[in-house]
Amino acid sequence: MIISASSNNKLLIESGVFNQIVSYGVDNTLSFNFNGLMVNLRTILFGAHEVYNHNITAGVENGYVIINQPYRLPDNDFTPTMQQGMLVPYEVGKKPDGKRIYISWRSKLQKAGNGTLVLNTSYSFYEDM
């Protein structure tokens, strides 16, 4: 059975959840290929007391849509309360038929039993109706 969902003149194309092992000070990129449109969601981890820019930024580099999201690591007790993401669909490209393509996501940092940091990202792609 195929179930479709739409609202706000947007049609849901694909959604999912990805559990990504992440580390402080390395490239934490989740890569998407939407019919040839390459979208990289980079999560930049900052220490609990580091000064950082809270804003999500986006641009194009070498044909890839690059979205940078900052994420502050919690204090030592590791009780993450913050989630990061873009809940309102964000335009990342256009299809050949002129329909715009959007992404939305929400990421939450969790610590596995063995101490591994895991970024749980729920994502959705949409297009204009």
- Across the range 47-69, mean pLDDT stands at 87
Q: Provide the domain count of the chain.
A: 1
Of the pLDDT bands very low, low, confident and very high (cuts 50, 70, 90), residue 12 is very high
Question: Is residue 1 situated within a structural domain?
Answer: no
71: in domain: yes
Q: Which domain holds residue 119?
A: 6-128
Q: Are 100 and 127 in contact (CB under 8 A)?
A: yes
Q: What is the pLDDT of residues 16-57, one digit of tens each?
A: 999 999 988 888 999 999 999 999 999 998 877 777 777 899
End-to-end CA distance of the chain: give it in Å, rounded.
21
Q: Is residue 90 part of a domain?
A: yes
Q: Let me know if residue 52 belongs to a domain.
A: yes
